[in-house]
Amino acid sequence: MEYTTIRNERTQLLNYLWEFQDKNGYISTSDIRKLSKELGISWIEIEGVISFYHFFKRKPTGKYTIYLNNSMVSEIKGFHKIKEAFEKETGAFFGGTDPTGTFSLFETSCVGLSDQEPAALINFMPVVNLTPKKVKEIISHLKSGGKIDDIQDEIEDLIRYKNDKGEPVLFREYKLGDSILNLVKKRPDEVIEEVKDSGLSGRGGAFFPTGMKWEFARRSPSMQKYVICNADEGEPGTFKDRVLLNQMPGLVLEGMITGGYAIGATKGIIYLRAEYRFLKKKIESTIKHFYKIGLLGQNILGKNFDFDISLMSGAGAYVCGEETSLIESLEGKRGGPRTKVYFPIEKGYLEHPTIVNNVETFCVAARIMEFRSEIFSSKGTSKTKGTKLLSISGDCKKPGIYEIEWGITIQEMLNLCEAKDTNYIQFSGPSGTVLTKKDFNRTISGEDLICGGSVMIFNSKRDVFDILTNFSNFFIAESCGLCTPCRAGNYLIGKRLEKIRKGEATYEEIEEIKSWGKVLRDTSRCGLGKTSSNFIVEAIDKFPEVFKKVGLKDKEFNLSAALNDYYDTVKNN
Amino acid sequence: MDLRIVNIKIDGKKFEAIEGQSLIEAAKNNGFYIPTLCHFKEIYPPLGTCRVCTVNINGKPDTACTRKVFDGMEVEVNTPEVLDNRKAIVEMLFAEGNHFCPACAKSGDCELQRKGYEMGISSSRFPHLFEERPRDFKDDRIFLEHNRCILCKRCVHEVKTNKGENVFYFQNRGHKMLVGMDYEKAKELTFEQVLDAAKLCPVGAIIAKGKCSVKPFGDRKFDVDKNIKWIQSEELELDIPKDGKKKVVATTSLAGCFGCHMSLLDIDLGLLDVLELIEFNKSPLTDIKKFTKQCDIGIIEGGVANSENFEVLKEFRKNCKIIVALGECSIWGGIPAMRNTLPLKDCLEEAYLNSISSENNENIIPYHEDIPNLLDKVYAVSDIIKIDYYIPGCPPNADHIWKAVKNILFGVGEKVAYEEFKYD
Ligand SMILES: Cc1cc2nc3c(=O)[nH]c(=O)nc-3n(C[C@H](O)[C@H](O)[C@H](O)COP(=O)(O)O)c2cc1C
Ligand code: SF4
Ligand code: SF4
Ligand code: SF4
Ligand code: FES
C-alpha cells in the first residue's frame, strides 16, 4: 500500500515514519512539523513514537546503516571481534557515524539469525557468518561504490530435522491453495471444531488453545473483525518464523485466511519485525499472487467470503511481540502493552475483535485444513499435540530448525543437533528457563518443559556470568518502561550484576536478587516484566558454584576505587 | 440500564459491588482501602503504570485499578506477601528517582511521600540509582523536574489543549523513559490549566512557576487526612536483660547537617530521664573524641562523603554492638547525595573554580594530607557496614528517636505513632 500523498491517518504513523527514515536515513525536525500539522497531533507525541522504536533515528545516519546483533549466541560466535573489525574498517564507532558520513554503526538485539552468527543488517539486508576478513571485504566493497545486493547473503534455511520418526506437519511438501480448497468446503463453525479437535495451541509461547480463541472471536457480533499474524519473533535465539515466512509464505497466508473465514473477519494484517524486512518483498509478491489467483480479495473461490491481507513493518521493539503492544504499534503508537481490561478478541485493533496468532500457529492451522486434524492430534503428548519447531543455536554442530514431536527428551534433542559438553541451555529464550545437566532427561512437552521455540546451547567453556549479563542487558534494553517493576527492577538487577562482577557484592546481596525477582514476577504489567527475572533467579540456584566463588561473606567497601575521581581531579587541577 | 450486583470478597469479608466497576472503586465504596498512585479517577483504559495497587485476585497477583469486579471475585489486600510487594514498588520508585524531600515544593502534599509513610518505609531495599535526570526550566510557566517524575502517565492522559492535543507525552523507553513537554502546546494552556496540571501530578514533577509555595506549612493535605490505615513498620524488639547497668551510647555526625543531633536534643527535659538510663561515650554531645569502651549502641547521623567519614564509621562498627542509622542522609545519602547524580569533578569545579564566590587567586580545589579526601559519591552507611536499625526522618522526630532507641536497648514495646514518624 502507498501512503505517500496524503498523510492524515493517525494509525499509519509508523508507515509515514518509515518513509522518512528510509529516504533520508533519519527523521528530521521538519518532517515532524509536517506530520504534526497534517495529522493534527502534537509534535511531542510524534517524538514519543519515534523514540520508542530502536530503528527510527532523529539524527542523520550514514549512507549505510549497520546493525550488529549483540545477542549471546552472537557473542560466543565472535561478536567482539566483529565489532572491532567494523570499527576499524569503517572508521566509525558504535553508536555513531564515520567522519565521511558513509557508515553508521549500531548494536541491536537478536535479529533472528542465531543459526548463522555473527550476523548484521546493512540497510536492513542481512550479512551472516561474519569474520573479520569478511567484514573487511564487505566494507571495502561498499567503500568502492559496490552495491549492497552483491554482498548481501542469500539466507540459508537450515532445516535439520523433520520429525523423521513420524512425519512432519509443517515441513512437508507445500501445494499452494490446497488448504483453502478444503477450507471453503466447510462451514466456519466446522473449521473451528476441527482446529479445536486438533488440540492446536498457540505457538507464540503462551500456548493458548487456538480453537478456543477463534471461537470467542467468532461469537462476537461485531461486523468488523481482524486477523493479525504476529511475525515479530523477537525472543533471542528464535528464528523459526523467519524460516516459515521464507520457505512457505503462502502457507502463512492460507492460515490467516483460515482464521478470517472461521471468525468472520475480512481483514488480515501481518506485523513483520523490522529485522525481517528483507523478507518483505517475497511476502508482498506472494500476497499479490494470491489476489491474482483469487485466494484473496472478494468472493474467494466463488464463495461469499472476502478477505484482504496487508503487511506492516515494526520498527525495533521486542515488546511489540506481546499481542496488545503489537496492536498499539499497528495503530501507529508507542508499542506499550495495554492494561488488560479487554482481551483482543473483545476489543483489539481499533477496538474491534481481533485474533492475534503466531506465524507457526497459522501454518499449522492451514495444514490442519489440508489433511484433517487427526494427523496433528495423533502426535505429541496429551497436553501438547503435534509437532513443534525449535530454533537451535549456540554450541552445537548443527544449528538450525528442528520439527520435533512433543515428548522427546532434552538429551535426544542434544543428540540430534550434535551438541557436546553442554553445560547450560537457555530454554525457550531468556524469558524461559535455565537447564543444566540435571534436566537432560526431562521431556519437551506441556507436561514438563514447554518451549516457544528458542533453544540456546552453551558448553562448559562459556562463562555463565557473561551469559547472564547478556540476558540482563537485553531486558534492560527492551523493557518498554511503562510499569515500575520492570522499568526500574531490571535496571536494578543489572546494576547488582555489575557489582557482583566487580567482586563487591556479598552472598546475601546475590541471594537478594531472588526476592526482587518475585516482585517483578508478581507485579509487572505484561509478560516481559513477569518473566524477565526468571533466568537470573534460576541461575543463582542452578549454578551455586559460580556465585559462591564471587559472593563476599561480609561487606567490603572499595575505598581506593571510590577515591580515584578525587585524586584525578586534584591532580589535573 | 439495569445495574447488576455482583458478590465479591475482600480479605474474607463479603461485599456487593456493581458489575463493571473497577475493583478500586468497589473497595472504596465499601470503605476498604487499596493504595494507588497512578489511578486518579475512573478512565478507560486505566493507566495501570505504577503497580502500587497490586492485590491477589482469586489467588493471582493483579492490579486493582485495571480489573473489573465479577461475581465470585476473591481479593486479598493485606496478606504479608501482597503488602510486601506493594512496599517494594514504592521503595523502587524512591530508589529510581532522585527524591530530596526537604528541597521539594510538593513535600507534605505528595502522594509518593504519603505512600512511604503509610507503608512504614524506613529504608529502601533497593540501592538508590542516582541517575542524572534533566530539570526542564524552558517553559515560562511550567518547571518540569524529571528527578521526581514517577512516570505515572496522568499528565500524558489528561493534560490536553482545548483542541485535544497532547502537552505531555512519554519519550524513549525502559529506564530511559521520561515525560516530554510540547512547549508550543503548553503555551495554549490557560494558567488555570497549568495549575491543574501541577495539581494532577502526584509528585513534585510538574511545578507551576511562582506558585509552588502557595500552600502554607502546617496543616497540609496529609496532616489532616486521618482516614488512612497506619501500618506498623518493622518491630524494634530486642531483649537486653535489665540488670540495672547504664547502657553506653555513642553518636556521630558524618555527612549530615547536625539536624538529627539537634532533634535528639529536642526531648528537652526528657533528656534528664534518659541520662538515668544511659551514658554517652564518643559523641559530639560529650566531646569524647575516642572510644574509651565498648558501647551498646552507636547512632550514626549522615552519609559517607569522605575518607574520614569512612574511618569513623568503621570505628563505630568495631566499638558498638548495635548500629542505628539515624535520618535520611545516613540511610541513603539524603541532601548531601544531591551531588551523586553528577561527576565529582563537575561538583568540585563548580564549587571551587567556576563559582562567582571564589576570589582571585583562590581558585584551587582543596587538597592536603590533613583534610579528608572526597569520595566519588555520598554513600549510604549500609554500603560500608552492616546496619542493625534504621530511624527515618529528615530529621526524625525526637520522640521517635528515643522510643526507637529505648526499644532497641531495653525492649520496651512502644509503638511509633504515625505523627511521630512523619517528617515532611
Ligand atoms: C514480551 C513478549 C513478547 C512476545 N513476542 C512474541 C513474538 O515475537 N511472536 C509471537 O508470536 N508471540 C509473542 N508473544 C506472545 C503474544 O503475546 C501472543 O500470545 C501470541 O502472539 C498469540 O499467538 P499464538 O496463540 O498463536 O501463540 C510475546 C509475548 C510477550 C509477553
Ligand atoms: S512489564 Fe511493564 S515495563 Fe516491562 S514491557 Fe511490560 S508493561 Fe513495559
Ligand atoms: S516528589 Fe518531592 S515530596 Fe514527593 S517524594 Fe519526591 S522529593 Fe519527596
Ligand atoms: S510528570 Fe507527574 S503526572 Fe506526569 S508522569 Fe511524571 S509524575 Fe506522572
Ligand atoms: S494505581 Fe493501579 S497500577 Fe497504579
One-character DSSP codes across A521-536: HHH-SSHHHHHTTHHH
C-beta atoms of A523 and B51 within 8 A: yes
Q: Domain limits at A359?
A: 161-377
Ligand 5 pocket by Cβ (under 6 Å):
B 36-39, 48-53, 63, 65
Tell me whether residue A541 is in a domain. Answer: yes
> Which residues from chain A sit within 8 angstroms of residue B124, using beta carbons?
none
Cβ contact A204:A195 at 8 Å: no
Tell me whether residue A250 is in a domain. Answer: yes
For a ligand 2 pocket test, name from A52, A472, A482 the mutation site with the most ligand atoms within 8 angstroms of its C-beta.
A482
Q: What order do you get walking across the sheet with B142-145 strand by strand?
A: B135-136, B142-145, B206-208
Nearest to A42 among B63, B126, B165 (CB): B165
Q: Which are the contacts of B301, defined by CB distance < 8 A and separation ≥ 6?
A: B251, B252, B253, B254, B256, B258, B259, B260, B261, B326, B327, B329, B330
Round to whole Å and give the CA distance between B167 and A40.
Answer: 13
**Pairing state between β B247-253 and B278-280:** parallel
CATH dotted code for B5-78: 3.10.20.740
Round to whole Å and give the CA distance between A317 and A273.
Answer: 8
Task: Identify the closest residue of chain A to B55 by CA–CA distance.
Answer: A523
**Residues paired with B163 in a beta bridge:** none
Tell me whether residue A340 is in a domain. Answer: yes
> Is residue A413 over pLDDT 80?
yes
Tell me whether residue A58 is in a domain. Answer: no
In a shared domain, residues A261 and A353: yes
> Is residue B413 over pLDDT 70?
no
Q: Which residue among A377, A407, A431 closes a domain? A: A377
Cβ contact B359:B313 at 8 Å: no
Nearest to B344 among A52, A523, A566 (CB): A566
In a shared domain, residues A299 and A217: yes
Cβ contact B367:A573 at 8 Å: yes
For ligand 4, atom 2, which residue shows the shortest CA distance?
Answer: B201
CATH dotted code for B230-421: 3.40.50.700
Centre a 10 Å sphere on the Cβ of residue A411 and count the other Cβ atoms it contains.
16
Nine-digit cell at A118?
Answer: 555473527
Cβ contact A103:A57 at 8 Å: no
In a shared domain, residues A165 and A210: yes
Cβ contact A394:A73 at 8 Å: yes
Question: Is the beta carbon of A479 within 6 A of some atom in ligand 1?
Answer: no
**Pairing state between β B295-301 and A422-427:** unpaired
> Which residues from chain A sit within 8 angstroms of residue B125, using beta carbons?
512, 516
> Is residue A3 over pLDDT 50?
no
Cβ contact A411:A169 at 8 Å: no
> From the candidates A522, A528, A553, which should be mutated to test the interface with B, based on the most B CB atoms within 10 A?
A522
In a shared domain, residues A111 and A166: no
C-beta atoms of A569 and B349 within 8 A: yes
C-beta atoms of A488 and B96 within 8 A: yes
> Which residues from chain A sit within 8 angstroms of residue B165, using beta carbons?
40-42, 45
Atom of ligand 4 nearest to the CA of B38: 8
Cβ contact A242:A370 at 8 Å: no
Tell me whether residue A278 is in a domain. Answer: yes
Q: Which are the contacts of B411, defined by CB distance < 8 A and separation ≥ 6?
A: B237, B238, B239, B240
CATH dotted code for B99-208: 3.30.70.20
Nine-digit cell at A44?
Answer: 511531542
In a shared domain, residues A235 and A209: yes
pLDDT of residue B226: 47
**Residues paired with A308 in a beta bridge:** A267
Domain count, chain A: 5
- A 475-494 residues with CB < 8 A to B: 476-485, 487-492
Task: Identify the closest residue of chain A to B353 by CA–CA distance.
Answer: A573
Round to whole Å and give the CA distance between A118 and A128.
Answer: 6
pLDDT range class, residue B423, cuts 50, 70, 90: low
The CATH number of the domain where A116 resides is what?
3.40.30.10
- Location of C-alpha cell 528515643: B402
Share of chain B above pLDDT 90, in %: 71
In a shared domain, residues A270 and A350: yes
pLDDT of residue A2: 42
Going from the Cα of B147 to the center of ligand 5, the distance in angstroms, rounded, reads: 20
> Is residue A383 over pLDDT 50?
yes
Atom of ligand 5 nearest to the CA of B51: 3
In a shared domain, residues A313 and A362: yes
Going from the Cα of A452 to the center of ligand 1, the distance in angstroms, rounded, reads: 9
Round to whole Å and give the CA distance between A177 and A162.
Answer: 22
Is the peptide bond preceding residue B45 cis, with omega within 30 degrees of 0?
Answer: yes
Tell me whether residue A5 is in a domain. Answer: no
What is the rounded average pLDDT of the residues B106-120? 92
**Pairing state between β B73-76 and B5-10:** parallel
Task: Identify the closest residue of chain B to A317 by CA–CA distance.
Answer: B173
Cβ contact A274:A55 at 8 Å: yes
In a shared domain, residues A273 and A174: yes
pLDDT of residue B137: 96
In a shared domain, residues A547 and A567: yes
For ligand 1, atom 24, which residue shows the shortest CA distance?
Answer: A202
The CATH number of the domain where A280 resides is what?
3.40.50.11540
> Is residue B236 over pLDDT 50?
no
In a shared domain, residues A344 and A301: yes
Ligand 2 pocket by Cβ (under 6 Å):
A 319, 337, 479-483, 486-487, 524-526, 528-529
Nearest to B66 among A339, A476, A478 (CB): A339
> Is residue A189 over pLDDT 60?
yes
Cβ contact A493:A461 at 8 Å: no
Ligand at shortest distance from the CA of B37: 5
For a ligand 3 pocket test, name from B148, B155, B332 the mutation site with the most ligand atoms within 8 angstroms of its C-beta.
B148
pLDDT range class, residue B410, cuts 50, 70, 90: confident
For ligand 4, atom 8, which residue shows the shortest CA distance?
Answer: B152
The per-residue pLDDT for range B174-201, each reduced to its tens digit, is 999 999 999 999 999 999 999 999 999 9
In a shared domain, residues A253 and A232: yes
Tell me whether residue A155 is in a domain. Answer: no
Whether A42 has its CB under 8 Å from any CB of chain B: the answer is yes
The per-residue pLDDT for range A264-291, each reduced to its tens digit, is 999 999 999 999 999 999 999 999 999 9
What is the rounded average pLDDT of the residues B285-310? 95
pLDDT range class, residue B231, cuts 50, 70, 90: very low
Round to whole Å and give the CA distance between B181 and B167.
Answer: 6
Is the peptide bond preceding residue B395 cis, with omega within 30 degrees of 0?
Answer: yes
> Which residues from chain B sit within 8 angstroms of residue A523, using beta carbons?
51, 54, 61, 63, 85, 88-89
pLDDT range class, residue B239, cuts 50, 70, 90: very low
Round to whole Å and give the CA distance between B379 and B303.
Answer: 6
Strands (E), B152-205: 168-171, 178-181
pLDDT of residue B422: 55
Ligand at shortest distance from the CA of B52: 5
Tell me whether residue A112 is in a domain. Answer: yes
Round to whole Å and give the CA distance between A72 and A461.
Answer: 14
Average pLDDT, chain A: 96
> Which residues from chain B sit within 8 angstroms of residue A344, using beta carbons?
none
Whether A558 has its CB under 8 Å from any CB of chain B: the answer is no
> Which residues from chain A sit within 8 angstroms of residue B161, using beta carbons?
42
Is the peptide bond preceding residue B366 cis, with omega within 30 degrees of 0?
Answer: no
C-beta atoms of B373 and A566 within 8 A: yes
> Is residue A491 over pLDDT 70?
yes
C-beta atoms of B367 and A51 within 8 A: no
Cα A520 versus chain centre, distance: 21
Round to whole Å and give the CA distance between B325 and B200.
Answer: 35
SS3 content of chain A, % helix, strand, coil (to 5): 45, 15, 40
Round to whole Å and give the CA distance between A193 and A461.
Answer: 50
C-beta atoms of B174 and A479 within 8 A: yes
Quote the radius of gyration of chain A (alpha carbons, Å).
24
For ligand 4, atom 5, which residue shows the shortest CA distance?
Answer: B151
The CATH number of the domain where A519 resides is what?
1.20.1440.230
Ligand at shortest distance from the CA of A481: 2
pLDDT range class, residue B237, cuts 50, 70, 90: very low
**Shortest CA gap A377–chain B (Å):** 32
For ligand 1, atom 17, which residue shows the shortest CA distance?
Answer: A322
Q: Using CB atoms within 10 Å of the CB of residue B275, give its burial: 0 to 12 exposed, 13 to 18 middle, 19+ buried.
A: exposed
> Is residue B157 over pLDDT 80?
yes
pLDDT of residue B215: 58
Nine-digit cell at B244?
Answer: 540495672
**Shortest CA gap A123–chain B (Å):** 23
Domain boundary assignment for chain B: 5-78, 99-208, 230-421
Share of chain B above pLDDT 70, in %: 87
Cβ contact A280:A323 at 8 Å: no
Question: Is the beta carbon of B204 within 6 A of some atom in ligand 3?
Answer: yes
> Is residue A443 over pLDDT 70?
yes
Nearest to A48 among B88, B150, B170 (CB): B170
Sign of CA dihedral B89, A47, B99, A536: positive
In a shared domain, residues A452 and A368: no
Round to whole Å and give the CA distance between A459 and A436.
Answer: 10
Question: Is the beta carbon of B112 within 6 A of some atom in ligand 3?
Answer: yes
Cβ contact A507:A544 at 8 Å: no
pLDDT range class, residue B214, cuts 50, 70, 90: low
pLDDT of residue B225: 45
pLDDT range class, residue B224, cuts 50, 70, 90: very low
Cβ contact A476:B175 at 8 Å: yes
In the DSSP assignment, the letter for residue B265 is: H
Interior/surface letters B237-248, b for 16+ CB within 10 angstroms, e for the rest: eeeeeeeeeebb
Nine-digit cell at A27?
Answer: 527523521
**Residues paired with A271 in a beta bridge:** A230, A312
**Residues paired with A387 in a beta bridge:** A405
